[in-house]
Amino acid sequence: MYWNRPRFWTYILTNWEHTVLYTGMTNHMPFRLIEHFLGLDDGFSKAYQTKYLVWHKETRYVLNAIALENEIKNLRRNGKIALIEEQNPLWHHQNEDILGNWPPTAAQIEDMFEYRRHEDLRIMKAMEIAKQRGRE
């Protein structure tokens, strides 16, 4: 059943040379990997080209994913490396394992943009409802 499946991910990405580590959290790993691939987020990940998934953990609960993300961000580099090597000793880039192929296809990229448009509309609607309820 859908509601029993893990739906949140905490993850670590690296650059091609494995010199930089980026820790994040998402509710849609395939699309988040595409966003990193395209460099859609300004900041650390884009500047250092962290596109390659080397570690991830799934959970059913968003608060667990956020807590784990914060825990990992507080680790020193050697702690993050130990975490990666426990799950992925050869530092295999796991993008293809998640997405089915790598790099993403044009159709996958379009699906991601459509998903983002849908999410933006959903958030705007929720904000409007909350605003209306605040006036009542």
Q: Kindly report whether the peptide bond that precedes residue 104 is cis, defined as omega within 30 degrees of 0.
A: no
pLDDT for the residue numbered 1: 41
- Could you give all domains of the chain from N- to C-terminal order, each with its CATH number? 2-104 (3.40.1440.10)
Query: Which is more confidently placed, 135 or 87?
Result: 87
Average pLDDT over every residue of 115-124: 88
**pLDDT category of residue 6 using cuts at 50, 70 and 90:** low
Its pTM stands at 0.86
- DSSP-derived pairing of the beta strands 21-26 and 8-14: antiparallel
pLDDT higher than 90, residue 74:
yes
In sequence order, which ranges of the chain are alpha helices (DSSP H)?
Answer: 29-38, 44-47, 62-73, 77-87, 95-99, 106-135
pLDDT higher than 90, residue 53:
yes
Average pLDDT over every residue of 47-66: 96
pLDDT in tens, 23-36: 999 999 999 999 99
pLDDT for the residue numbered 136: 62
Exposed e or buried b per residue across 96-112, where buried means at least 16 C-beta atoms within 10 angstroms of its C-beta: eeebeebebeeebbeeb
Structure tokens at 95: 């993008």
pLDDT higher than 50, residue 93:
yes
Tell me how far apart the alpha carbons of residues 104 and 126 are, in angstroms, rounded to a whole number: 31
The amino acid at residue 25 is M
